[in-house]
Amino acid sequence: MNNLILGTAFILFGGIIIIFIKEKYKGIIQSLFTGTGMILNLMIAVDLLIKGGSIASEIIFPFPLGKIAIVIDPLASLFIALISAGGFLASLFSIGYSKQYIENKKGTASFYFFLSVLIVSMILLVIVQNALAFLILWELMGLSSFFLVIFESEKKDVLKSGLYYLIAMHLGMTFILTAFVILSIKTGSYDFAAFSLFLKGADVKINSFIFILFFTGFGTKAGFFPFHTWLPRAHPAAPSPISAIMSGIMIKTGIYGILRILLISAAPSKGLSCFFIIISVITGIYGILYAIAQKDLKKLLAYSSIENIGIIGLGIGIGMLGLSYGSSYIAILGFSGGLFHLLNHFVFKSLLFFNAGAVYLKTHTRDPENMGGLIKKMPLTSALLLIGAIAIAGLPPLNGFISEFIIYSGLINEVITGDLIVSLISIISIAALSIIGILALFCFSQVFSIVFLGSPRKPADKINEVSLSMTIPMIILSIMIFAVSFNSRFILKYIGKIAVMFTDDINAFQTDRIASDLSNITIGFSVFVLIVLILFFIRFLLLRKKKISYTGTWACGYKSYNSKMQYTASSFGSSLLSLAAPFINYKVKKESNKTIFPKSIILNTHTEDAIENLIINPAISVINKLLNLFSWMQSGNTQQYILYGIIFLALVLLYVIGVK
């Protein structure tokens, strides 16, 4: 406990002290403090995950807050570990990334300050057990991330996206607030323990209603369909390390919220669980389909985050379904699959956003159509992106596969043991998960090949590898990818402890069963690596004394081949997107003059978010119309405003006289 307070204080102190330090050293000092804080936090988090159990304590604050219960349980420990590690890596990455700001004479004090506030607010958020404190920290997290998103506020787009984000966050928060208000009215307390007592005694309808309120609020943060629209706007606007921390960790606080609510409420009903699974599946497919259509690297990654939230949600949904029909094995499979994917997504999504930042720093563009051939200029960055891409596509032998495998196992077990509806929904989810998998493969093979492979589409002479402070976080994350995938069994053991919290089944036998399946996977991976090594050796032997000649790419006999003839991201995605066009608003506009010698052809492909088009934009225009009715009030005329004051005073006077 003391370690955690000390560690968190370190991170906050780092954020404050850098205000008084020279621009050049801000990043380094802040990283040092965050790093120390991370080590202290990790000590307690890892210790708790290994030993199990939880630490409870209380802090007494002056009036409105009062007594606040603090509990560090395994669920909170996992989040503390991820938040501290992610925060440290992001500040490390920022040292190199913020050099562009320093060169442009842009102060970075606010950047590091709000970064520290964001990390601290998230750490505290996952340990408080009090609605009031939770809401305050939730708001603090939202605001600090808002200021980070609009850090480059001199750009108009950034400011616009930032405001969109701010409004989305507060709309979501309204639902959380409502749910908490209902609960505290019913219980007369702000404590989660009291809520839990009430919810576990209440009937299914109340539980479901409260859960849906919370889901709407937390789902907005997490990016569940149809509340996801802020992600593809906020992520491209934010500086890359911030996108990494937002996508890698902050949106997971939404998942944390959902999990915490599940922990304090009664076992969910079957209908609710199926609803949750269906929403998650839609989120997954929707996210990855739109990701393929994006022409902005970070927007693409934002949509891919939505997809991964869908996969995490699917895991949680399986867990809920398991709880609803009393199968603790399936519940544990589901929850540990979801949590494992959460961990994995943190690792590879942070890596990919760092990568996108590194590429942006060098190319000054986020449009893959203007890149290409970067593998020769930035070999290390591209190799790291390849690792991240394989991992996020869920392909063996990397970590993304492990969590998807656990989720698949949960689904298969449901198919076998469930009744008709459960089996049917599970088979549909299996098919959907495989579609998500293959679409992710499509998406990330496209990203990697358009950005890094082929020959440069725009002159790329000045581009070189990024600085050490940026590559080190990426290297750490890619080592983590391998470490997680080859030690999945041990990690599952600790994640299983969190999953067990959701069930009443205390014995660890269930997690052992999953662990033995995972050890098969680990053996399989090792065999695969062995086969690869043997084949490489054979290839080496075969080519040892052979002639290897280098020439241009075969262009079917065409001599003057140039880089403009390469396949582009639009052309790569076109065949799939035109098949999916009915679902995703994919529009192709082609202008060509059909003469004998055609000169210029203009091709424009375009996708718009369907939810934004169908729901959000109409809603905004209705609200605008409504509010316009009152616009005459704000005329800008001083006399009019004085009149308002006089009317108000007169009314007050009348009221006072009337009362007397």
Partner 1 sequence: MEIFINIIIILIMPFLFIGAINRTKALWAGKKGVPLFQFLYDFIKLLKKGQVISNTTSFVFQIMSVIYLASVIFACSLIPMVNHRALFSFPGDFILFAYILGLGKFLAIISAMDTGSSFEGMGANREATFSLFVEPVFFVIISSLALLTKNSSFASIFTGLDNGGWIILLIKVLIAAAIFEMILVEGSRVPVDDPNTHLELTMIHEVMILDNSGPDLAFIQYGTGLKMTAYGILIANILMPGNINVLYSALMIGGILLIIAVLIGLIESLIARYKLSRVPQFLFFISSLSLIILSLILFFKKGI
Q: Which of residues 517-556 bind partner 1 (CB under 8 A)?
A: 517, 520-521, 524, 527-528, 531-532, 535-536, 539, 542-543, 546-556
Shortest Å, Cβ 300 to partner 1:
16
Question: Counting contacts by CB under 8 A, is residue 79 touching partner 1?
Answer: no
Query: Which of 57, 152, 325, 396 is in the footprint of partner 1 by CB under 8 A?
Result: 396
430-489 binders of partner 1 (CB under 8 A): 430-435, 437-439, 441-442, 444-445, 448-450, 452-455
Member of 344, 469, 471, 566 binding partner 1 (CB under 8 A): 566
Residue type (1 letter), 86: G
Please report how close the Cβ of residue 474 comes to partner 1 at its closest, in angstroms.
18
Place of tokens 């480059």: 152
Residue 401 in the binding site for partner 1 (CB under 8 A): yes
Which one, 181 or 579, has the nearer CB to partner 1?
579
Largest CA distance in the chain: 109
Smallest gap from residue 278 Cβ to partner 1 (A): 17
Element housing 114 (H / E) = helix 109-125
Name the minimum Å distance from CB 577 to partner 1: 10
Question: According to CB under 8 A, which one of 116, 413, 469, 485 is a site residue for partner 1?
Answer: 413
Q: Is 204 in the site for partner 1 (CB under 8 A)?
A: no
Show contacts with partner 1 in window 211-240 (CB under 8 A): none
Question: What is the Cβ-side half-sphere exposure of residue 352, based on CA atoms within 13 angstroms?
Answer: 31
- Classify 587 as helix, strand or coil: strand
CA distance 216 to 258: 10
Peptide bond into 62 cis (omega under 30): no
CA dihedral 129, 133, 136, 138 (to 10 degrees): -10
- Residue of 427, 475, 483, 616 interacting with partner 1 (CB under 8 A): 427
Q: Which one among 2, 507, 560, 575 touches partner 1, defined by CB under 8 A? A: 575
- Which DSSP letter does residue 223 get? T
Least CB distance from residue 525 to partner 1, whole Å?
9
Could you give the CA distance from residue 474 to residue 4 in angstroms, rounded to a whole number? 26
The footprint of partner 1 on residues 253-272 (CB under 8 A) is none
Residue from the set 65, 395, 475, 508 that interacts with partner 1 by CB under 8 A: 395
How many C-beta atoms lie closer than 10 Å to residue 475's C-beta? 15
Distance CA 226, CA 229 (A): 7
Residue 34's identity, in one-letter code, is T
Secondary structure (DSSP) of 47-96:
HHHHH---EEEEEE-SGGG-EEEEEE-HHHHHHHHHHHHHHHHHHHHHHH
**Distance (Å, rounded) from C-alpha 568 to C-alpha 450?**
7
How near is the Cβ of 605 to partner 1 at its closest, in Å?
A: 14
* Residue 560 contacts partner 1 per CB under 8 A: no
CB proximity list for 106: less than 8 A, separation 6 or greater:
none
Q: Smallest gap, in angstroms, from Cβ of residue 122 to partner 1? A: 33
Residue 101: partners with Cβ closer than 8 Å, 6 or more residues away = 107, 108, 111
Q: How far is the CB of 482 from partner 1 (least distance, A)?
A: 15
Q: Which is nearer to partner 1, 563 or 592 (CB)?
A: 563
Cβ neighbours of 543 (radius 10 Å): 10
Q: For partner 1, what does the binding mask look like between residues 348 and 387, x meaning CB under 8 A?
A: ------------------------xx-xx--x--x---x-
Helix axes 399-417, 297-324, angle to 10 degrees: 30
Which of 193, 415, 475, 610 is close enough to bind partner 1 by CB under 8 A? 415
| Number of residues counted as binding partner 1 (CB under 8 A) | 84
**Cα separation, 295 vs 442, whole angstroms:** 15
Give residue 371's region: left, alpha or beta (phi > 0; psi -120 to 50): beta
Interface stretch with partner 1, choices 209-217, 225-233, 356-364, 568-576 (CB under 8 A): 568-576
Min separation Cβ 131 and partner 1, Å: 41
Which of the ranges 26-34, 363-371, 389-397, 613-621 carries the binding residues for partner 1, by CB under 8 A? Answer: 389-397
Residue 411 interacts with partner 1 (CB under 8 A): yes or no: yes
**What is the closest distance, in whole angstroms, from the C-beta atom of residue 348 to partner 1 in the complex?**
15
Closer CB to partner 1, 548 or 656, in the complex: 548
CA 323 – CA 499 distance, rounded (Å): 11
Is there binding between residue 588 and partner 1 (CB under 8 A)? no
Q: Which stretch binds partner 1 (CB under 8 A): 51-59, 194-202, 215-223, 574-582?
A: 574-582
Site for partner 1 in 275-334 (CB under 8 A): none
Task: Select 55 or 427, whichever has its Cβ closest to partner 1.
Answer: 427
DSSP SS3 for 602 = strand
Please report how close the Cβ of residue 231 comes to partner 1 at its closest, in angstroms.
Answer: 24
Angstrom distance (rounded) from CA 110 to CA 115: 8
- As a whole number of angstroms, the distance between CA 322 and CA 238 comes to 39
153: left (phi over 0), alpha (psi -120 to 50) or beta: alpha
405 binds partner 1 (CB under 8 A): yes
Give me the least distance between CB of 177 and partner 1, in Å please. 41
